[in-house]
Chains A and B, each alone.
Chain A
């Protein structure tokens, strides 16, 4: 649950630091009554946006979407992990780490957050993602 105060300069500063570290050019966040757009440089390329809630069609679907907790480069696997570790679909537990965001030399583990069947990756490996971008789809298991 996000409780960001978009008017807080410190929050804006850390978001900006995160963008610079991740090589992201800009960030745009829209929420009810709040809208934040940070442009780090004039260069083209990255498009980062935030949607506070899942779109209605996804919200209605049985599958859950795991979203990026911040900006970074998406890694489906730890860089040193064997490739077979990332094969889908596979059952996952709620605390299981199913991917990473790479920011410089640091990796932010992404937990599944729920038990179920990890069916799809929604982002290509090494793609630049922004806060809230969908990364994985997990179907609840009976």
Chain B
């Protein structure tokens, strides 16, 4: 059991999402940085999709009411346990009564608290993710508030964690060759031209050439971008059609909207491009007010990046298990 001691708005329970129900209007939801959840779960010995706490407003505090292994992944910065700074992206063991505090990260947006056994909230339509707009899933379908108590699941990993923990080279470092760092503070985000790109003619080029700012009217449903508006050459009326996370729509005002984890299931605005899926976690870690630039990509590049990220995940999975086995054999 853990008890939430201090929670700002919109911190929720999330796993890897609830795909497969968009046809009945149910958003997939899931962590904005699924890579961080996967890695955290591997480190503590959970299944990949175990539920974690997504913290996007800080400070955040919780109390452990049982001895449990945990890791904080996602954001940069150090978690604090009973006043002592801990390594991020590393397993630790909390004793009963200890308080974990997450402070505002220096640059990134979201931290994930992953506990050994996962958060034991009910599974709805195959997922423990909170669907905020639907008001279901996760912790009673709502953000965490002070005083909430959440059960922890059963831990099945037979291999003990090393006494000093086990950590990873975080994705921004390990995968820097395929996820380039921001240039002059502008995050490069790869996208592929979408169905209505041609409608924007020369404004289509303006879409790719300018740095967009993530506006304050952004949330887990979508990021609204601020910049020089882009307009289609003709006003068209489109039937509402299915959309998924990553789709970039352009409403009449000319400032794009990127669909994120709680994406609408359908929309009628023209689509100028789609962010490649493997870059979505980088958007999930981009803060309101930060800038991004879209880089033209291809399906082949998207596939190659996806495969590199998958190799990293698999390396973490296999190597961490190997290290646990080796250290167990030596003790």
Contacts and interface: CB of A to CB of B under 8 A. Distances in A.
B331 A14 contact: no
B288 to A, nearest CB: 23
Contacts of B169: 79, 102, 105-107
Nearest to A131: B330
A70 B327 contact: yes
Interface in A87-113: 95, 97, 100, 102-111
Contacts of A102: 169
Nearest to A4: B330
B326 to A, nearest CB: 4
A17 B167 contact: no
Interface residues of B, number: 29
B285 to A, nearest CB: 14
Interface string A55-89: 00000000000000110000000111000000000
Given A4-B329, A69-B327, A97-B164, A106 B173 contact: no
B208 to A, nearest CB: 30
A17 B326 contact: yes
A70 B323 contact: yes
A43 B172 CA distance: 33
B325 A106 contact: no
B168 interface: yes
B105 interface: no
Contact of A105 (B90, B315, B327): B315
Interface string A8-44: 1011001101100100000000000000000000000
A103 B87 CA distance: 18
B33 interface: no
Contacts of A107: 90, 166-169
Q: Pick from A4, A8, A80, A102 the residue with the most CB of B within 10 Å.
A: A80
Q: Pick from A11, A100, A104 the residue with the most CB of B within 10 Å.
A: A104
A79 B87 CA distance: 12
A2 interface: yes
A103 to B, nearest CB: 5
B106 to A, nearest CB: 11
Interface string B153-188: 000000000111111111011100000000000000
Interface string B35-50: 0000000000000000
Contacts of A4: 329-330
B14 interface: no
Given A17-B322, A109-B165, A79 B329 contact: no
Contacts of B323: 18, 70, 103, 106, 108
Q: Pick from B87, B174, B315, B330 the residue with the most CB of A within 10 Å.
A: B330
A109 B316 contact: no
Nearest to A71: B326
A10 to B, nearest CB: 7
A2 B316 CA distance: 26
A100 B320 CA distance: 14
Contacts of B327: 69-70
B326 A18 contact: yes
Interface in B306-331: 312, 315-316, 318-320, 322-323, 325-327, 329-331
Interface of B: 76, 87, 90, 162-170, 172-174, 312, 315-316, 318-320, 322-323, 325-327, 329-331
Given A70-B327, A97-B87, A106-B168, 16 more contacts: A3-B331, A4-B329, A8-B329, A10-B329, A11-B329, A14-B329, A79-B174, A80-B172, A105-B319, A106-B167, A106-B319, A106-B323, A107-B90, A107-B169, A108-B323, A131-B330
Interface of A: 2-4, 8, 10-11, 14-15, 17-18, 21, 69-70, 78-80, 95, 97, 100, 102-111, 131
